[in-house]
Amino acid sequence: MLYRIAEPADWLQAQQTDFFASPDLAAEGFIHCSERHQILATARRYYSGRTDVWLLEWDEAALVAAGVRIEREWVASRLQHFAHVFGPVPQAALRRVWALRPDAAGAFQLPPELQE
């Protein structure tokens, strides 16, 4: 599975169009994604203090079956590979969605279904 922390407007547009396409797709040619073990670090780094974002879970096999290219590329600033999705994500690849809200101390936690 791949995960994307989504802005409210991007998630709303995806519900209306049946495809998720965030501004990074237009600007960089791909959608930035995380694997499960990268979600919290991404949330802390880019969404600290936010209480309005969503966590989308996409089925990687469904993306490939739909003809959407996925590449894992090295991100030097994070010292690890991240999945990049080269195209709009069809709603058929969406498996689950959670409101990603910080706890009382301001820290993000994984949804219970994703905790090991």
CATH of the domain at 17: 3.20.170.20
Number of domains forming the structure of the chain:
1
What does pTM read for this prediction? Answer: 0.93
Q: Quick one: tokens of 91?
A: 């709603």
Assigned domain for 112 exists:
no
87 is written with which tokens?
A: 């195209």
pLDDT digits (tens, 9 = 90+) for 45-77: 999 999 999 999 999 999 999 999 999 999 888
pLDDT single digits (tens) 14-53: 999 999 999 999 999 999 999 999 999 999 999 999 999 9
